Amino acid sequence: MVIREEINQGDILKVDCINRPVLVVSKDFFNQTGEIIACPVYEKGEPEALHIYVCADKTKGYVHCEKLALLDLNVRHYTKTDRIYMPDIINITDAIQGIFDYI
């Protein structure tokens, strides 16, 4: 049995076979399954409703909230590289929720 590092909402990961960092947007309870929902972080871009700028210790860039992906970390190698701050997590999860809201 492989013991994996705990993954939390707001963590930034480097995942094998993905060219850019990803931000974990799923809640901690969901992440316990070994699967996460994540959004890519692009170094360059323009701020938009679904492209939210984040600045962490080692990572700066635009989270593309519309590019949600389910990633199975049980079958992929990953490393935690950074973590964003709570106000950024709130802005990003609000933007993602807005994708699914009714009119």
- Kindly give the confidence (pLDDT) of every residue in the chain, 103 residues in length, as a single tens digit, with 9 standing for 90 and above: 455 789 999 999 999 999 999 999 999 999 999 999 999 999 999 999 999 999 999 999 999 999 999 999 999 999 999 999 999 999 999 999 999 987 7
| Within a domain: 54 | yes
| Within a domain: 3 | no
Minimal CA–CA distance to 78: which of 29, 15, 26, 33?
15
Report pTM. 0.93
Output the CA–CA distances (angstroms, integers) from residue 74 to 1, 5, 37, 70, 77, in the order listed: 11, 11, 13, 12, 8
| Within a domain: 47 | yes
- Rounded to whole angstroms, how far apart are CA atoms 45 and 48? 9
72: containing domain: 11-100
Number of domains present in the structure of the chain: 1
CATH at residue 21: 2.30.30.110
pLDDT of residue 3: 57
